Chains A and B, each alone.
Chain A
Amino acid sequence: MTAYSGRIGTTPRGRGVGARLAAGFLYALGLPMLLLVVWGLVATRATSQFFPGPLTIAEAFVDTWVGPAFVEDVLPSLYRLGIGITASIVLGVAAGTVIGLVHWLRELLEPLLEFFRAIPPPVLIPVMMLLLGITDTMKVVVIVSGAVWPILLNTIEGVRATDSVMKETADAFRITWSERLWFLVLPAASPRIMAGVRQGLSVALILMVISEMFASSSGLGYRIAYFQRNYLIAEMWSGILLLGLVGVFLAVVFGLVERRVLRWYHGIREVNRA
């Protein structure tokens, strides 16, 4: 994300703040606006059945999702997603720390974990349906069973790669076990952990949608599949839009949390680069 912004702190002279703000605004929103306008024009000219114009979709969006559908379909989905993600993070970081710290345990489990990570997560949906039936628990377990692997494996890597000088320093100062975990191991692993969480988030979102398309009578994924089967095209598009917004929302929240958690790390990197 940093490679995108090519700014280097200096402000170009001779242009006011207003002009720069306007230019930034134009860059940020110019292309999306242009595409929307083109899309709208094309949609009014050639009335393709499957591609309604943006205004139709916006209307359908308000009609479909603002109101009881939000409580019935969107909130349960987000609730399951939230629980799944939280459980994945807790489980992945806890197990990853233990496995990363205990040498023989890591060697024992490594091939097994590699195999489990390689299983495409949606394949686990039928398995979980068999084991747990079509329940909310099943969907949460499906989300966890897919999202936990990148977090777990990255945590193991991060814990393992703790700086050896710092480890020896901690030994020399006889820092207690819990302090060591909290002040050395976890912070040292946190950049890797956050990278794992980022991968886990997108997997979790995918699994939320598919588990609902497969086995559900409510939820965002179910609604979108339902609209498609009933040829409610604009409503279907509005559902896709909503999923996109959820994805963007997750990415933004993650970006904020990451910046907060890894503030020290980015600071060090910037100093090193300068």
Chain B
Amino acid sequence: MRVHSTRRLRTLRTASLGVVGLAGFLVAWQLVPTLGLINPQYLPYVTDVLARLAEEFVDLAFWRRLGSTMTSWAIGLAVATSAAVVLGTIVGLVPVLRRATHTMVEFLRPIPSVALIPLAVLMFGIQPQAALVIIVYASFWQVFVQVIYGVADVDAVARDTARSFGLTRREQLSHLVLPTALPYLMTGLRLAAAVALILAITAEMVIGNPGLGRMIELSRSSGDAVGLYALVVVTGLLGLLVNLVFRFVERRALSWHQSVRGEEAR
């Protein structure tokens, strides 16, 4: 009982300290333009930004923009993930392919996906496909590399056991390879989701297809600092939400796995 209450006290302390930190940041933000350290034209008052945020949340146009950003995010992530899982499994299971593709992967992976923006614009103009190319390219590698690692990580004894029990290829895939690769896949998916969001918004900023990113660029060029800061806060919240959701999905999908079970036992 006593242990329980001290633990609750500690989480309460952590939470309240976090709130204090957040409040301190907001107060500091309000003070900087008030004291004239930075012109409010460049760093608007936090109260103005929050008021604008509240306005945006009841504006249908805002939700439509958010919707188009998240649509290209979701499509891009889905396409990249399914392609990466299929290709990664094949390449990861066949040692010859793994060796042969190694150089290609190591060269293509570090190419910053934003370098492809001009190419995407040439090919598709300012249509959503241009943004999709960038999103898919960036998030594909995150998942692909993890799947290759995961598929190759199958325990040798387990594989021999499966073989001596005469498991068919399909059974081996679903009972042996999939459980081994799932933690890797989940890590890759979480990273890819964050990257896809970054690229979705970046593509809208640079290419100019409709969405939050274009709105950010428009408020910058029209000198609407309050709107700009409000949108930056929105993207931060969006990123936070994506992180939380995928962390939750990861824990649920891996509830049987040692890494999650061990954590809960503690």
Contact = CB atoms under 8 A, between A and B. Distances in A.
Interface of A: 3-4, 6, 27-32, 35, 50, 104, 107-112, 114-127, 129-131, 202, 205-206, 209-210, 213-214, 221, 224-225, 227-228, 233, 236-237, 239-240, 243-244, 247-248, 250-251
Task: Please classify the interface of chain A as helix (H, G, I), strand (E, B), loop, or mixed, using the class held by over half of its residues.
Answer: helix
B112 A209 contact: yes
Interface in B170-208: 197-198, 201-202, 205-206
A227 B149 CA distance: 38
Nearest to A227: B118
Nearest to A31: B100
B96 to A, nearest CB: 8
A35 B43 CA distance: 51
Interface in B27-73: 38, 42-43
A3 to B, nearest CB: 5
A40 to B, nearest CB: 16
Contacts of A122: 198, 201-202, 205
B115 A248 contact: no
Nearest to A120: B198
Given A31-B103, A122-B202, A233-B122, A6 B95 contact: yes
Contacts of B228: 126-127, 130
13 contacts: A27-B102, A31-B101, A119-B232, A119-B236, A120-B202, A123-B231, A129-B220, A130-B225, A210-B206, A228-B121, A239-B118, A240-B116, A240-B118
Interface in B95-126: 95, 98-104, 106-119, 121-123
Interface string B75-102: 0000000000000000000010011111
Interface stretch (B1-9, B13-21, B157-165, B256-264): B13-21
Given A120-B198, A210-B202, A126 B21 contact: no
Given A3-B149, A126-B219, A130-B42, 8 more contacts: A28-B103, A32-B107, A112-B18, A117-B239, A120-B239, A126-B216, A205-B112, A225-B117
Contact of A50 (B14, B112, B122): B122
Contacts of B121: 228
A116 B236 contact: yes
Contacts of A248: 106-107, 110-111
Contact of A244 (B107, B117, B232, B239): B107
B129 interface: no
Given A50-B123, A122-B205, A209-B115, A108 B110 contact: no
Interface of B: 13-14, 17-22, 24-25, 38, 42-43, 95, 98-104, 106-119, 121-123, 148-149, 152-153, 197-198, 201-202, 205-206, 213, 216-217, 219-220, 225, 228-229, 231-232, 235-240, 242-243
Given A30-B100, A108-B17, A224 B115 contact: yes
A247 B43 CA distance: 34
A110 B99 CA distance: 42
Given A119-B235, A126-B216, A27 B99 contact: yes
A110 B18 contact: yes
A236 B118 contact: yes
A127 B229 contact: yes
B119 to A, nearest CB: 7
A6 to B, nearest CB: 6
Contacts of B99: 6, 27
Most-contacted residue by chain B among A3, A27, A227 (CB, 10 A)? A3
Contacts of B239: 117-120
Given A228-B118, A233-B122, A251 B102 contact: no
Contacts of B232: 119, 123-124, 127
Contacts of B205: 122-123, 125-126, 210, 214
Contacts of A129: 220
Contacts of B102: 4, 27-28
A243 B115 contact: yes
Nearest to B115: A243
